[in-house]
A and B are shown apart, each in its own frame.
Chain A
Amino acid sequence: MNEISLNEKKVKTPSPLRIRFLKTGSLQFISHLDLMKTMTRLLIRSGLKMWYSEGFNPHPKLVFALPLSVGVESVCELLDVRVYGDIDYENLIRRLNESSTPELKFIEAYVPKRKFKEIAYARYKITVYSQNLTEGCADAVTKLFRSPIIVSKRKKSGDHDTDIVPFVRSLSAKFDAGAHELCVNTVLSASPDNYLNPEYIVEAIRRATGAPSDEDFTPGGDSYRILRTEMLDSKGQMFK
């Protein structure tokens, strides 16, 4: 394991490392804080020689690109950590996956070239399942976004009525009548000051179509899934 001692670590300079991973399935219910704890332990177990903060409570410093809300899945999460020595990226990913679960899967590791603050947007795929969805529901959704959609948005200073449409860069909807599924593809603002939680889009879909129900949770009844698929820069190019 970590053969290198604390003192030796201070002498050398740590270098940045970026790790891409996915957080899906039941892991969507794990909060960001809990994810940080699990991630720290997985990184320690992988044998990665990390830089530790100094002071009373030394800990490795993990920086996440864009924390996920509980209930949102993702296939494009990014995490930065500072490490020592030469890293065998493939070996690291293999070891991380050996001690993790398939729902928290590591994809690749590399030296980051861009800063997280360049992230401006995130792409989401929102799937709503309901027997009550009818032909035309996709049009109803896209039509709704042509005029302001006022929601009560939670901010530090309390709840504010806010129009969410300016935060939506693009949105398209498609209905699969056979599967009773409405699929909405959307790119939402994700910069630190203008982050839009994709749950508001679900709220808007509900206004347009009546689904998914927020009262009846009968197993097998209405349901929805939010999947983050990409992070984008201000030009709409994929951020890595």
Chain B
Amino acid sequence: MDYKKYSQILKHVTKPGRYTGGEIGQVIKNKDDIRCRFAFCFPDTYEIGMSNLGVRILYGVLNEMPDVWCERVYAPWTDMGEYMRKYSISLTAHESVDNVADFDIVGFTLQYELCYTNVLYILDLAGIPLLASERSDDCPIIIGGGPCTYNAEPVADFFDIFSIGEGEEALPELCRLYIKMKSDGTYTRSKFLYEAATTLEGFYVPSLYKVEYKADGTIKSYIPADEKVPAKVRKRIVDDFDTSYYPTKPIMPFIETVHDRIMLEVYRGCIRGCRFCQAGMVYRPVRNRTVATLCRQAKELYENTGCDEISLTSLSISDYTDINELTNTLVEWSDANIVSLSLPSLRADSFTKELMDKVSSVRTSGLTFAPEAGTQRLRDAINKNVCEEDLMRAVRVAFEAGKNSVKLYFMIGLPTETDEDIIGIAKLAKAVIDEYYKTPGRNKKRPPQVTISVACFVPKPFTPFQWEAQNTREELARKQRLLGEHITDNRIRYTFHDSRISHIEAVLARGDRRLSAAILEAYRRGSCFDAWDEHFDYDRWLSVFADTGIDVAFYANREFGEDEVLPWDIIDCGVKKEFLICERRRAYESKPSPNCREGCLGCGANSLGGKGRCCP
């Protein structure tokens, strides 16, 4: 935002540093050299968007192209949004302060379902028609990417095109096509979209498919516009992850952001295959970066940012094959430079004293584990593969080292769950307290504290639990109360997620195209920043669904048929449906499955290729 023009407004909004831009490391280009201008929107606040690794990578990849200029856009907080409406100020991109509506391509990363209304908020503030069908040739191309595009159907009406899977190679290809068609004069909006869908891989254009429904409301079929339009859109992965582009000169935000640290992306995918987890399925196959590459990137990042904390990013860091070599090398180097190492996503079964010492070598950080379920039976059913002994050993290591507090993540409403499993959560938390008193070298200065944070299960596309019904809100509330009644120890702190939010999330996660009308109506009635408790309005969502003819239970609380055409069947994420069904059967038998390194289950992701993947 142009601070000179809007300085009076900036003096009256919260965190004006969100809007000024001008950060160290932002990319400024000469417009004369540019043939494709790309606005990369993160549909939430600046502080959250600036922390996103995917945006950092793609911002860098696109700006590596000399004739493409990628800029950033964030959702202005509601106070700024009101001023913008009051004074008719159009939304602008951070770097150039040019109107978003004047860009060639406007991309959105869809990280969570509750950001959908913010997509409309951004389009609206930019003055771009909300519906793809209402956009003329002069409007920018609106593209979506990120995890939610594995089922993008609920927002299909708002997007011209989706990029499925990893975008590092796909987005430059799309820009090349755009530049080519613009320069040879063949560009029209519809021709471009058709070319992208039929000549490039990994692009889904919803308008090229007609959806037919059965009388019972389920999908009958997806009909492609012609035989050249792919029947299924296959997700993209980068061919060689180790050598693929990684940003080592990131933008340094002036104001505090959610994750303000150096992030090293250690590997992609996850060997575990927890049956509720979408990330564990859609990011397959597992591909590592080498220790040498990671250490070089860490040094470059430190020299370029001066940031004193390095976070090792992955879905489960202790599953990295060379974790000891990596942490040893980093600790050796980072201690001298007074850089601290943080390891999020630690698994209890691979947490060791050696690993913890490295993490706390410079600064102390809290310890969090995710057993996810309260009993071994249910942990086997969800394939979490962590046993109580693992957890007890892990917390003992922590207590011996003088820690007093441990945080545990759980989920309720999981398939096959009984009341015994719920009560098991309380028992497990108590067992951790008992373990503290059994640990000889414990820190006696303060009493122990165990925090249990309990989320509600949301069935997600491309997981073995994708067909499962979500518990009703009443049932989730009953389980939350039941658990509360069994927690009698005041050294256990109990927090749980709002089941109303999880309910709407379930509708949006498994929805089809008919939901677009409801999301548009919710936005028109004021829904925005739904991921923020203070803005989330459950009753408004329910009344919108009722008024737009959407049966909430049909999407959230119904068990989908295995022979049913699912809204996301149009996407091929590598993992086959037969594999998911097989895993679902094993869940019902409470049988865990081996992880990718113990034995390949033939999920199908190896067909995507990828150098150095862990599977055959």
Contact = CB atoms under 8 A, between A and B. Distances in A.
Interface of A: 1-2, 5-6, 25-31, 33-35, 37-38, 40-45, 52, 56-59, 70-71, 99-101, 103, 212, 217-225
Contact of B20 (A6, A26, A44, A222): A26
B254 A70 contact: no
A59 B339 CA distance: 10
Interface in B14-60: 16-17, 19-24
B252 A41 contact: yes
A217 B9 contact: yes
Contacts of A6: 335-336, 338
Contact of A218 (B19, B87, B260, B338): B87
A180 to B, nearest CB: 15
Contacts of B335: 6
Given A26-B22, A56-B364, A58-B362, A225 B7 contact: yes
Nearest to A52: B338
Contacts, number: 95
12 contacts: A27-B22, A29-B16, A29-B17, A29-B19, A34-B17, A37-B260, A40-B306, A41-B307, A41-B308, A101-B23, A217-B83, A218-B87
B11 interface: yes
A219 B22 contact: no
B12 interface: yes
Contact of B22 (A56, A57, A99, A103): A103
A35 B83 CA distance: 27
Nearest to B260: A37
B254 A30 contact: yes
A26 B24 contact: no
Contacts of B16: 29, 70
Contacts of A223: 7-8
State the 6 A-B residue pairs at the shortest beta-carbon distance, nearest first.
A41-B306, A44-B306, A26-B20, A29-B16, A45-B306, A217-B8
Given A26-B20, A56-B363, A223-B7, A217 B12 contact: yes
A222 B305 contact: no
Nearest to A41: B306
Contact of A58 (B6, B89, B260, B338): B338
A190 B431 CA distance: 57
Interface of B: 3, 5-12, 16-17, 19-24, 83, 87, 89, 252, 254-256, 260, 302-308, 335-338, 362-364
A35 B253 CA distance: 11
A31 B255 contact: yes
Contacts of A103: 22
Contacts of B20: 26-27, 29
B310 to A, nearest CB: 13
A42 B254 CA distance: 11
B89 to A, nearest CB: 7
A101 B22 contact: yes
A223 B3 CA distance: 11
A114 to B, nearest CB: 29
B17 A30 contact: yes
A221 B256 CA distance: 31
A1 B254 contact: no
B342 to A, nearest CB: 13
A217 B87 CA distance: 8
B308 A34 contact: no
Nearest to B299: A1
Given A29-B3, A34-B256, A57-B363, A42 B83 contact: no
Contacts of A219: 5-6, 9, 87, 89
A1 B337 contact: yes
B305 A31 contact: no
Nearest to B256: A34
Given A34-B256, A45-B303, A223-B8, A25 B308 contact: no
A34 B23 CA distance: 12
A100 B305 CA distance: 11
A45 B306 CA distance: 5
A6 B338 CA distance: 8
A98 to B, nearest CB: 10
B305 A41 contact: yes
